[in-house]
Amino acid sequence: MSESPKESSEPSQSQHRFGRVTEAFFGVAKKVKFYRLLGWRDGHGMKVTDIGCGRGDFLDFAQKRGWNTMGFEFDAETARQAACNSKLNIKLAKELPQQMALEAGSIDLITMLHVLEHLDDPDEALRACRSGLSYRGTLIIEVPNPLSIAARISPSTWLGWDPPNHRFHFSCKALCRALADAGFRPVVVKGGSVVYELGFAADAYNDRILRKTQALFSLLKGGDKYPPVRQWIPVIAILPLTLPLAVCTVLVERLARQSGTIRVIAKPK
């Protein structure tokens, strides 16, 4: 199954919020990621389900390209707001196995991006995906990689740990084994989101140099409130050092096949 369960209490699926400039940058990166997930063809009525859909950005993108969309979100408030603010079909994932069983092999594509590590029972969630996926369907799953270089640079404060929100951590072998046990056949195993990986690496170098926990991430997460000078000046001052180091780290991780994130494309057995 999964490796290295982390101690936690109640699950938290809260969506991180950043300032407007940061959100705009991530918005461009998201579009690139969405094209990678869906390919360049339109959906032509095929059905995509996003588990852990958050605000529904991916579903909105897919719907505009002709996909029939459905989303499941674990955080009640996020699910409520997403459903109210859009015309998307977004449901609260109270009993995911039963909800997915109702789809009975009708879903063409299921995405679960940086969600599996949050769940109390990731094996059950994977079996639920297998239940809802069509025989020729595809599951795309992405998780942080605890064996990455970034995780070793700052082993105690690496963003991918994210306690208590992340309950499990998966190596590539552990994730593929869990998928196989749930009835999937991994067909492509590769690095996932480069934006995540750059963020993991840059924040890890900031932590080591400044000796401060998640220095860069905390600054970006400040939202629209202008942070105190004592917070942002040290981080900005060392960016000419940390950003090149982060880029080099991501390249080395990719060459070593230990990317900061793991993306697996799987098919039903």
The ranges of the chain with pLDDT < 70 are 1-31, 40, 219-230
Domain coordinates of the chain in residue numbers?
A: 20-145+157-192+260-268
Report the CATH number of the 20-145+157-192+260-268 domain: 3.40.50.150
| 8 A C-beta contact, residue 238 and residue 206 | yes
Cβ–Cβ under 8 Å, residues 37 and 145? no
Token pair, residue 133, equals 């996926």
Nearest to 6 by CA among 160, 125, 176, 215: 160
The reported pTM is 0.84
The pair of three-digit structure tokens given for residue 230, joined into one six-digit string: 């004592």
In angstroms, rounded to a whole number, what is the distance separating the alpha carbons of residues 201 and 196? 9
> Given this model, what pLDDT does residue 28 score?
59
CA 219 to chain centre: 20
Question: Tokens 């997930």 sit at which residue?
Answer: 37
Cα distance between residue 47 and residue 96, in whole Å: 17
Measured CA to CA, the distance from residue 132 to residue 96 in angstroms comes to 10
E-strand spans in 84-148?
90-92, 107-113, 133-144
Contact present, 38 and 200 (Cβ < 8 Å): no
Q: What digits encode the pLDDT tens for the residues 155-188? A: 988 999 998 999 999 999 999 999 999 999 999 9
